[in-house]
């Protein structure tokens, strides 16, 4: 049984940052597509949207990296998050049932991703101690 039940994936077309979260901490994996992202330019009177097709090999690697998660949150700034969710629904329907949300998120730091996921999954956040507020500290006065 995995030690981390929850997973959050922040994804765009150039990388996927995957965090497995549990009461004992978190683990991070960063994946990149095999081919660099191509920028396509749409020309008038040409069929097609001008967007690169979804990178199925990249989404397959991300799917493998989260296969043991009990609950999955997918976030990101553009269409890659919905493309990943669609890929999972098509290729791993049993895993798709564990996706709890697909949400927009710009470009947060790793710490912001983990904190957002912990709030989303209602996991305990670390207690922040301010100077003079240590547990068990006695104040005389």
At 73 the pLDDT is: 98
Nearest one of 36, 28, 25, 23 to 9, comparing CA atoms: 28
Q: For residues 31 and 76, what is the distance between their CA atoms, to the nearest angstrom?
A: 14
What residue ranges of the chain have pLDDT lower than 70? 1-3, 35-53, 125-141
What local confidence, expressed as pLDDT, does residue 139 receive? 44
Cα–Cα distance measured from residue 82 to residue 45, given in angstroms and rounded to the nearest whole number: 28
CATH class of the region 6-34+51-120? alpha beta
């Amino acid at each position: 049984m995995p030690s981390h039940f929850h997973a959050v994936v922040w994804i765009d077309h150039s990388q996927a940052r995957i965090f497995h979260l549990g009461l004992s901490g978190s683990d991070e994996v960063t994946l990149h597509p095999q081919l660099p992202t191509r920028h396509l330019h749409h020309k008038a009177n040409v069929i097609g949207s001008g967007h690169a097709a979804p990178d199925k090999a990249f989404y397959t690697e991300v799917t493998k990296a989260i296969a043991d998660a009990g609950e999955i949150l997918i976030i990101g700034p553009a269409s890659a998050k919905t493309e990943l969710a669609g890929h999972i629904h098509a290729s791993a329907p049993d895993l798709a049932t564990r996706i709890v949300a697909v949400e927009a998120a710009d470009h947060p730091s790793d710490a912001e991703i983990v904190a957002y996921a912990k709030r989303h999954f209602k996991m305990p956040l670390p207690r922040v101690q301010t100077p003079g507020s240590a547990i068990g500290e006695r104040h005389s006065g």
